[in-house]
Amino acid sequence: MTRCAVMGTGSWGTVFAMILADAGCEVTLWGRRQELVDAIDRDHVNRDYLPELTLPAGIRATTDAAAALAGADFAVLSVPSQTLRDNLALWAPLIEPQTALVSLMKGVELGTVKRMSEVIAEVAGVGPERVVVVSGPNLAGEIANRQPAATVVACADEEVAKRFQKACHTPYFRPYTNTDVVGCELGGAVKNVIGLAVGMANGMGLGDNTKATLITRGLAETTRLGLVLGADPHTFAGLAGMGDLVATCSSPLSRNNTFGTNLGRGMTLAETIAATSQTAEGVKSCESVLDLARRNGVEMPIVEAVVDVVHKGRPTQEVLKGLMARSAKPERR
Ligand SMILES: NC(=O)C1=CN([C@@H]2O[C@H](COP(=O)(O)OP(=O)(O)OC[C@H]3O[C@@H](n4cnc5c(N)ncnc54)[C@H](OP(=O)(O)O)[C@@H]3O)[C@@H](O)[C@H]2O)C=CC1
Ligand SMILES: O=C(CO)COP(=O)(O)O
């Protein structure tokens, strides 16, 4: 039986543990809070994140990372992108040679501008053939109800991707493999930033033309960055690109979309942060994505506009006017 350690009891870690258990894996969930972990182990409910969901009874929960990781075929990492480096530094000595590391995270590290798979390879000292990325239109709240969804399982080594594809394939969750790790990760990280922009438009009372424009031009700037970083442009037309962008930008379940909507309605950044209990990765990753783009000479005007609103306190109306006033240009360059 495939053995999986899921590191993180947030909404996606918890739902992914359910997927793995439904797919027939033996699953141990690691969390940092003893009380919550005890309750999950005893009642099979994560009362803080998914109080309506009864988890498969076979899932064990623990605060003991060594116990969770012992004998694991896959260590599935699901913590906020900006804490991964510190978390993994503690776990790395406990990870056994047969264990492949799987990233569920969608972000770019501040300062280093590294993608999550790069942070994993560096901190755990493993080669790309042991790092897997899962990315796609996967709103945890919908998958918790076992609603049908698909995703991409990406790894430089296709055989490892296929092994994890099998480990997480259920009647409601359909994983496709891909070897374009860069494209899949960029799709996931940048869509959170575009989700913030679309949320802002929504909060400002703007309609579907504006939102479709932001989605389409957002994908254009994601693809531009991806091409420079060596991604396959086809990835951005797939589940980890357009698929995830559409889900995030359409759904009130998206934390990034909701965060943007609150800003667009006129809430201050401090009020919006106070109203957000879960991780909205785009809030931090907008800065690291822009940093990554600038280091590579790539223009990302929508990402820049989001940074202006979120981190420079510029009014949404003014920033939108600036975007529209950019010089006219051909659609494809
Ligand atoms: N939710 C979703 O629909 C999806 C999320 N993702 C991605 O998955 C990743 C995880 O997101 P998600 O589960 O939703 O996030 P949540 O905000 O729901 O949960 C975050 C988890 O990380 C833990 N955590 C927070 N800070 C630390 C820290 N410093 N050290 C250790 N653990 C910490 C939290 O623990 P505690 O509860 O104790 O604070 C919690 O278990 C993100 O990158 C996100 O973009 C990808 C696809 C879908
Ligand atoms: O990544 C997600 C859906 O695929 C979840 O989006 P949010 O983090 O915005 O909730």
Task: State mean pLDDT over 161-169.
Answer: 98
28-37 pLDDT tens trace: 999 999 999 9
pLDDT in tens, 240-271: 999 999 999 999 999 999 999 999 999 999 99
Report the C-alpha gap between 319 and 163 in whole angstroms.
46
* Distance of alpha carbon 7 from alpha carbon 79, whole angstroms: 7
Ligand 2 atom with the smallest distance to the CA of 281 is 8
324-328: long-range contacts (C-beta < 8 A, 24 or more apart)? 326/301
Q: Which of 191, 211, 312, 329 is catalytic?
A: 191
What is the rounded CA–CA span in Å between residue 257 and residue 235?
22
pLDDT higher than threshold 90 for residue 333: no
Share of the chain above pLDDT 90, in %: 99
SS3 category, 5 = strand
The closest of 150, 192, 197, 194 to 171, measured between CA atoms, is 150
pTM over 0.90: yes
* CA 238 to centroid of ligand 1, rounded, Å: 24
pLDDT for 91-141, tens place per residue? Answer: 999 999 999 999 999 999 999 999 999 999 999 999 999 999 999 999 999
Confidence band for 187, pLDDT divided at 50, 70 and 90: very high
Q: What is the pLDDT of residue 225?
A: 98
What does the DSSP 8-state code read for residue 47? Answer: T
Ligand 2 contact via 48 beta carbon (within 6 Å): no
pLDDT computed for residue 295 by the predictor: 98
Confidence band of 332 (pLDDT split at 50, 70, 90):
confident
* pLDDT tens digits for range 269-303: 999 999 998 999 999 999 999 999 999 999 999 99
Residues with C-beta less than 6 Å from any ligand 1 atom:
8-13, 31-33, 49, 78-81, 83, 87, 104-107, 138-140, 278-279, 281
For the Cβ of 256 lying below 6 angstroms from any atom of ligand 2, the answer is yes
192 and 169 Cβ atoms separated by less than 8 Å = no
- Average predicted confidence (pLDDT) for the chain: 97
CATH class name, domain 183-324: mainly alpha
Topology (CATH) of 3-179: Rossmann fold (3.40.50)
Equal fold, 3-179 vs 183-324? no
Reported as a single tens digit per residue, the pLDDT across 47-96 is 999 999 999 999 999 999 999 999 999 999 999 999 999 999 999 999 99
Query: Residue 80 is inside which H or E element, if any?
Result: none
The reply, when asked if residue 64 is annotated as ligand binding, is no
Say whether 284 is catalytic.
Answer: no
Residue 281 assigned ligand-binding role: yes
**pLDDT classification of 142: cutoffs 50, 70, 90:** very high
Q: Where are the domains of the chain?
A: 3-179, 183-324
Tokens of 306: 């989001």
Average pLDDT over residues 201-205: 97
Ligand nearest to the CA of 246: 2
Contact 170, 234 (CB under 8 A): no
